[in-house]
Structures are given as structure tokens and as C-alpha cells.
Amino acid sequence: MTQDAQRRVAVVTGGSRGIGLESARLLAGNGLAVVVCSRHQGEADAAAKEITAAGGTALGTGADVSDEDAVVALFDLAESTYGGIDVVVHAAAHAGLGRTTTVAELDLAVLDELYRTNIRGTFMVAQQAARRMRDGGAIITFSTAVVQLAMPGYGAYSASKGAIEAFTLILAREMGGRDITVNAVAPGPTATELFLEGKDDATLAGLAARAPMNRLGTPAEIAEVVAFLAGPAGHWVNGQVIQVNGGVL
């Protein structure tokens, strides 16, 4: 256990790449001990090693957030290593954004995958957070600007993220007596490795053009909002879906 009993501790799922990794870096830079969770142990270890080399405190662990036992083990590890949990950032999600199809043509197996990871996985992580977090902390989930934009072809993905928004707002009310804030961050098109994969230049240009600044967001820009919500400056923000999309239309 860390010698500094006052150190705040964060669990970051999906923390080995993209927005999750940038969030873990920022939180560690702000003095939190960070448990970096990834589906792949090697990637989690690499992220934790990078954070540690930069002067932070981090531990990597592999866990599938759609597996209940794995989620319980993740929180067990955070508590046994650092003595408690103050911030939970659930950045892990199913990569359903790349699977566009109309509702009429939807393969229900895809819907089931989205449900298992995005809805059930988020619920299980938040459930463990609600049971175990120290008072005064912050829970941050992830939605998407696609819910607000109501784009054809994204029915299943938007439905899974819309469920997260509804669930997040209810959890905020349930946690209020413990001074724990609960918010959802809803990024617009963001230049993560996962988002860029499989998209040609014309597609990316079209997505960038939807924002008045005519560009994609960066993972670091989204992570800045996460760090704000996790820290004292953002603690009066509660029960909100924060659109971080550059004004995307």
C-alpha cells in the first residue's frame, strides 16, 4: 500500500490507448495513483510503465469490463494496492461506431455485443464504484455526440450510449448523499487510433467539416474535461452529459 494515505486513487478502464490513456496520464500528472485497465495485460503494463517513467504512480491490469468477475477483481486490486478508490473513469467501450446499419438491417448479434460491453459493462463498473468508492469522489462515464446528432445508421450504437446517459443521471442522484459526482462525457469525432481505423481521407474530412473549427478533436482535449470533472474545480458539476465536440453539427 502506498505510504501516502492521503493520495487520491483513480481507476481508468480503457486506459491503455486513446482518450483513456490521455486521461490516465493527466490524472497521474495531477498526483493521483492510477490503476490502468485494458483488455490486454501487456498494453495495460506498457501504459503504466510510461506513466511511472514520467514521474507518476500507476499499475496496469488486464480485465474485460463485460466480465463481472474481472470487474470485481479490478476493484479488489485497486483497493489492496492503494487503500481505496476516489475516481473511476470508464473509458472502455465497444467499438460499435464503425458498424453503421439501419435498424431494419441490424444484425441482432451486434446489438447484443453493444449491450454487453457498453450497457452491462458500464453498469457493472459503476456498481462496483458505488459500493466501494470513498466519499467525495467522482465517477465519469462515456457517451457520444452521435446520440445528440441522431445520425441514420447509428441506431444500435446510439441506443447503447443513450442508455449510459440515462443511467448516469440517475446514479448521480443516488450518490449525492456521499458527495460523489457522476457525469458522462460525450465526445464528438476524435482522432483516436480506433476512430481513424478503416476510414479514408474523404470520410475523415467530411467528419472534420461537421465541426465549425473544421477538424477532429484530440484525445488530450477530451482528457482535459475528464481531469476537470475528477478534480476539485469540477466538483460542483454533477448529473450532466458534457458535450465535448467542438460544436459539431
Residues near 86 by Cβ (< 8 Å), separated by ≥ 6? 8, 9, 10, 32, 133, 134, 136, 137, 138
Answer yes or no: 82 catalytic: no
User: Residue 201 half-sphere exposure, CB side, CA atoms within 13 Å?
Assistant: 0
Q: Rounded CA gap, 48 and 61, in Å?
A: 9
Average pLDDT per block of 10 residues along the chain, 249 residues long: 69 95 97 97 97 98 95 98 98 69 93 92 96 97 93 91 96 96 94 80 89 92 97 97 92
Domains delineated in the chain? 9-242 (3.40.50.720)
User: Residue 16 half-sphere exposure, CB side, CA atoms within 13 Å?
Assistant: 16
Q: Rounded CA gap, 59 and 128, in Å?
A: 19
Please report, as a single letter, which amino acid is at residue 217.
G
End-to-end CA distance of the chain: 47
3-state DSSP call for residue 124? helix
pTM comes to: 0.93
Given the residues 82, 115, 154, 157, the one annotated as active site: 157
pLDDT at 196: 77
**Any idea what the Cα angle at residue 119 is, between residues 114 and 125, rounded to 5°?**
125
**Beta strand spans in the chain (E):** 9-13, 33-38, 57-62, 87-90, 138-142, 181-187, 241-244
pLDDT at 3: 44
Quick one: 131 exposed, middle or buried, by C-beta within 10 A (0-12, 13-18, 19+)? exposed
